[in-house]
Structure 1
Amino acid sequence: MNGQPNSKPWTLTVKKGSRLRLRLINSSGSTFFRISIDGLKFSVIEVDGNRVKPIEGQNVIVPTSARYDVLVDVPDSGSYTIHAAALGDDKQCLGVIHTDDAQVTVNDKRPTFDGVTVDFRSLQALNPSGFGRKVDRVYDVLLSGKMKKYEWMMNNHYWPEPFAGPHPEKTYLDIQQGEVVQLRMINRSPMSHPMHLHGHTFRVLGSADDDFAPIMDTVWVPKGETVTIEFLANNPGMWAYHCHNIWHLAVGMMQPVRYVVDERELLRQ
């Protein structure tokens, strides 16, 4: 955590009664972390740099490349261990928040994670996030793979190999500037995938009130589930759209989003 090993954990000294804003950044190559702080609750207020309605919890799941901002109150003197536990593994990394009138102590036992868990399905944007118009284009994106062979695909495709058939350009998800686009990610693989679209933020649909769908740039798609994102095509170019597990990306789990000018070209596909 912050470059420090568990044997000499990163520490933050504060005064009793402090309110802290912590930015939890998952910069790992492939690990999801479930994060809690012994004895302290927190409120999630931001995800990937975008404000959300504050939601209180005892722990939060932060997938690869995501960023969650939390508010933490430290009402009493003491030493409070931060646990970032790797999902799917028994390992964790540790840090410590302590008041300036207390000795630093470290709890190296893995927490049981009782209480409320916050993840992307818990979030709502602080303000309405819709584009106020109909959807122009929808793509289904099939996420698939085989653990034993370590094959990971998007729409039965390994980047950069072109699709078989008469239209190799279907390697890309083609869109036009100004469109409202939905990508419906269907995960039929045995793993969860942190999906990231370069050059854009997107709304994550499926909450109780999609008018306040949270705005993110990375969302994980749990195994066996479907997650739909929606974005405004306002940044022309060709943009990587991929799984942010570096090992999945390395074997080809990517299908770029490409802006095209000629609608006739889209119709031909």
Structure 2
Amino acid sequence: MKLDRRLLLRGAVAGGGLAALQGLMPAWAQTGSPGLRADLPTLTGPNIDLTIGQSPFTVNGRTATATTINGVLPAPVLRLREGQNVRLAVTNQLDEDTSIHWHGILLPFQMDGVPGVSFPGIRPRETFVYEFPVRQSGTFWYHSHSGLQEALGHYGPIVIDPAGADPVAYDREHVLVLSDWSFMHPHEIFDKLKKSPGYFNRQRTTLAGLLDGSDRMSLEERRMWGEMRMDPRDILDVNGSTYTYLINGHGPRENWTGLFRPGERVRLRIINASAMSIFNVRIPGLPMTVVQADGENVRPIETDEFQISVAETYDVIVQPTEDRAYTIVSEAIDRSGMGRATLAPRLGMTAEVPPLREVPNLTMKDMGMGDMGGMGGMDHGSMGAQPGGAMAGMDHGAMTGASGGAMAGMDHGAVPAQPAGAMPGMDHGSMAGMNMRDPENAPPDMAVGVGVDAIAMAPANRMGERPIGLQDVPHRVLVYTDLVSLQPNKDQRPPSRTMEIHLTGNMERFMWGFDGRKFSELVEPIRFERDERVRVTLVNDSMMAHPIHLHGHFFELVTGGPAGHQPLKHTVNVPPGGKVSFDLTADNPGDWAFHCHLLLHMHAGMFNVVTVRPMEGAAS
């Protein structure tokens, strides 16, 4: 089934002029009809009915089907209040099983909504009732945990008002749901990645870029990347070559608009509900004060831009004082496209939309080389000499030349060797000393096999670093170490034990897992005793970022910030070649999903179950 970019028509049908312009726009700007409503439908109260089905829509003469909740996409805002009980009756009108996971919500595990882990799923034409007390407040969201339905539009926002006074003062609010959408069915996207993981990368370095300097790499750096058979621009598996980036279901040219009166404090509740897209968010000319991360209040911190990974949420306060419009930009981290919306005093107003910025290049740190410096300064001898000048453990197969002036061999599949003089291939092969097929290089608990092609030699704690592509921008950028919990952490006991989990993969085969194992290999669950205090360190052995999400719990990022005020998160982005530590109090008994929230990484195996059981002698 081919799917269109537009999710749901809520207003006027596109005119012929817009249709004529569509062919002239880049892929990321090709969207559907203008005139869509800016407000999102809202459901509230103790009893809420949700129906999961399919909704037809037509754009540019093409008709497709989205998976929707109550016929809209994004799904309706669920407006709840801390302290209430809520009963959500979910009816499945699909021809396949479905589910809803309440992302970031603390509840009994039987209500968490993960088929095969916490409940059997919702079969066609059946209704399942989720019922639980609301124990928290903040910005959260909900989505399918069945197959790849999330990529088809099955997601929506949750806003929970606090039982008492809100520590965040604001006059008006807008919910902003960021997401990605493709004409291509997600199963077809997955199949293409399995056959050729670089299929969607149209931004590779080229010979022309080397000659004119536009690739911003020296000949020595290019030679090094070639010897390592890696692609310095392999940043997102799926990008603007097929995705349109949406804000509240609106594409860039549809221009979702949120209103304000000059001088008002406007709260923006920003949710990344994408399947595979990490965004850099900014509002040119308007500073943002971050007041909440993943639904938890933080000490206000002013910034000009922040990165939001898949499944994260950030609440920000803006206070526009001028009678003018501002553009909200959600730019994909590989700069292959952007979402765009507007803040304005009146409908119909627009502001300048900035152009896409330069495509970033990955560095030695992104390969887990820590602070070993620039590529040109690397010690080739320390990497281990190889026949023909190749570096140790780095050859996943020579690659064919790329068309259109692109450098040879920047896709991932193994194909015939290059002709003489061609630039070396750049796939995801492992670096010297990183070849996981040698058991001596593996951590004790890691499975060494085809599912692991590399291990980081010197993974670095990068929580205080600006994220990919934002290292050199001339304004303030939020980093994890800026986040400080507004309230003291409830459990300040030191951890009683430590645990290290490696995020592993084989990019050539698009295989992903934890510690070298994918979930389908019947891996052992990760076990915690109830109320146990554990420090978990996630080590990313790959060159791709991984937003890791733990269900049913919040954890405290170990940022080195003020003692007792570590930021609470339910999802953390682990950068390429990086590591992240968090302290967890396993206080919610049951079986909980633990996975990468890049949907296709989870689908490919980066998933496990965390099981929390009562300590010996404790009550169940």
Taking structure 1 as the reference length, the TM-score comes to 0.89
Q: Which moved more, 1:248-257 or 1:127-136?
A: 127-136
One-letter code aligned to 1:14:
F
Question: SS of 1:148's equivalent?
Answer: helix
Residue in 1 that maps onto 2:495: 135
**Residue 469 of structure 2 is aligned to residue 223 of structure 1:** no
| 2:481–2:561 contact (8 Å) kept in structure 1 | no
Q: Which moved more, 1:228-237 or 1:112-121?
A: 112-121
CA distance in 1: counterparts of 2:284 and 2:615, whole angstroms: 57
Q: CA deviation at 1:198?
A: 0.2
More strand by share: 1
Listed one character per residue, the Cα deviations across residues 58-117 of structure 1 (whole Å, up to 9, x for unaligned) are 011110010000000101111100000011242000000112398334525236853111
CA distance in 1: counterparts of 2:510 and 2:481, whole angstroms: 28
Residue 34 (structure 1) aligned to one of 280, 285, 288:
280
CA distance in 1: counterparts of 2:528 and 2:280, whole angstroms: 36
Residue 116 (structure 1) aligned to one of 453, 469, 476:
476
**Residue 506 of structure 2 is aligned to residue 260 of structure 1:** no
**Residue 604 of structure 2 is aligned to residue 251 of structure 1:** yes
| 2:259–2:347 contact (8 Å) kept in structure 1 | no
Q: CA deviation at 1:146?
A: 2.3
| 1:44–1:54 contact (8 Å) kept in structure 2 | yes
**Residue 510 of structure 2 is aligned to residue 157 of structure 1:** no
Residue 267 (structure 2) aligned to one of 21, 30, 34:
21
Question: SS of 1:125's equivalent?
Answer: coil
The 5 Å alignment of 1:75-154 reads 75-100=321-346, 103-110=349-356, 113-129=473-489, 131-154=491-514
| 1:146–1:190 contact (8 Å) kept in structure 2 | no
| 1:78–1:102 contact (8 Å) kept in structure 2 | no
Q: Cα gap change, 1:5/1:181 in structure 2, threshold over 3 Å: closer, same or farther?
A: same
Residue in 1 that maps onto 2:254: 8
More helix by share: 2
Q: CA deviation at 1:128?
A: 2.2
| 1:130–1:212 contact (8 Å) kept in structure 2 | no
Question: SS of 1:223's equivalent?
Answer: coil
Q: Give the length in aligned residue pairs.
A: 256
CA distance in 2: counterparts of 1:17 and 1:235, whole angstroms: 43
Residue in 2 that maps onto 1:201: 554
Q: Which moved more, 1:77-86 or 1:176-185?
A: 176-185
Give the % identical residues: 29
**Residue 610 of structure 2 is aligned to residue 239 of structure 1:** no
| 1:79–1:102 contact (8 Å) kept in structure 2 | no
One-letter code aligned to 2:477:
T
CA distance in 2: counterparts of 1:210 and 1:195, whole angstroms: 24
Residue in 1 that maps onto 2:316: 70
One-letter code aligned to 1:260:
R
Q: Which moved more, 1:133-142 or 1:57-66?
A: 133-142
Q: CA deviation at 1:183?
A: 1.4
Residue in 1 that maps onto 2:540: 187
Q: CA deviation at 1:249?
A: 0.2
Question: SS of 2:297's equivalent?
Answer: strand
CA distance in 2: counterparts of 1:76 and 1:250, whole angstroms: 47
| 2:501–2:539 contact (8 Å) kept in structure 1 | yes
One-letter code aligned to 1:103:
M
Listed one character per residue, the Cα deviations across residues 103-150 of structure 1 (whole Å, up to 9, x for unaligned) are 334525236853111132321111222613231232110111122221
| 2:484–2:561 contact (8 Å) kept in structure 1 | no
One-letter code aligned to 1:24:
I
Q: CA deviation at 1:56?
A: 0.6
CA distance in 2: counterparts of 1:44 and 1:111, whole angstroms: 24
CA distance in 2: counterparts of 1:249 and 1:12, whole angstroms: 34
Listed one character per residue, the Cα deviations across residues 126-184 of structure 1 (whole Å, up to 9, x for unaligned) are 12226132312321101111222211110111003135xxxxxxx21111111112211
Q: Cα gap change, 1:102/1:243 in structure 2, threshold over 3 Å: closer, same or farther?
A: closer
Q: CA deviation at 1:209?
A: 3.0
Listed one character per residue, the Cα deviations across residues 31-61 of structure 1 (whole Å, up to 9, x for unaligned) are 1110000210010000011010111110111
Q: Which moved more, 1:245-254 or 1:112-121?
A: 112-121
Question: SS of 1:28's equivalent?
Answer: coil
One-letter code aligned to 1:186:
V
5+ residue gaps in structure 1? 164-170, 264-269
Taking structure 2 as the reference length, the TM-score comes to 0.40
Q: Who wins on radius of gyration, i.e. which is larger?
A: 2
Question: SS of 1:182's equivalent?
Answer: strand
5+ residue gaps in structure 2? 1-246, 359-472
| 1:147–1:190 contact (8 Å) kept in structure 2 | no
